[in-house]
Structure 1
Amino acid sequence: LQRIHNPEAAVPALLEALDPEKEPDADVRAAAAVALGQYAQPRVVQGLIGALADRQLRVNQAAKRSLKTLTGENFGLDIRRWLAWSQRTQDLFAKRRPYEYPVFHRDPTIVEMILPWLEGPKNETPAPPVGAPDEVATGSTGGVVEGG
């Protein structure tokens, strides 16, 4: 869901996957937080702020990164500051940044450097999700907020 943009289908499922009561696997919750970084919706911001209270640091960090992508703000893991800012801000997405899905990357091993014909796994190139509108790829909203 990080590589396909589909607000109607993905957002409700991803928000549900953030809830530790419904999704016990912290890796799934963290991946959901990452994927939500492409959806400029107030309910997504609220869900990500809530995920900052998750007991698992990887979920907190993923939520923080997505909040930074969506809003351009960086209040770290401070839930109170995020809530206060979101309540007093007219356009939550005015400073939105481009969203690119996370990719696999690793440096070549010593053996691969010495023996160049021994190719390791290919590194992927980051890109916007398939079906994403220009606002997701460029980070601009033009005053438009996706979905609800």
Structure 2
Amino acid sequence: MKSALVLVFCSVALAMPMHSPSHATEIPSPNKGDLTAELPQRAPGSWRITTISPETGTQTNEVCIEKGDNILGAQSGDCSRPKVARAADQTIVTIECGAGDNREINSMLFTGDFQTWYRAQVKITRVGPDSQERHAGLTIDARFLAPGCN
């Protein structure tokens, strides 16, 4: 199953401990169709994004972020609407994709000011036809470079 986070590798970041679920509060959506209102908004411009993962090692890219972009990237059609919650200065996003015996759950913990830097800690849980869970993870660190894009 193709990961719903493929595009997130080029757009997220974090590494602070999560608060217990009892401290998390779900963010009400002013418009069910407008998820960007609930998610952290990055400053538009050029960003250097570094992804660290056991599967791919360290990868660094310069990315142009436009005003109002979705920090999660594009989602496949078999994904549920992301659940967004806040815990202190952290944003927790959970997305479930697939159905039945082939599911993937992506949990992301975001921190930062999203104007100069941010970090994402990502945990991916895959459940296959054998009902066995497989786990993967990655960290994304991002630094703002300039207001314009080259």
TM-score (norm 1): 0.27
Which of the pair has more CA radius of gyration? 1
Give the strand-richer structure, 1 or 2.
Answer: 2
Q: More helix by proportion, 1 or 2? A: 1
Structure of higher RCO (CA pairs closer than 8 Å, 6+ residues apart): 2
TM-score w.r.t. the length of structure 2 is: 0.26
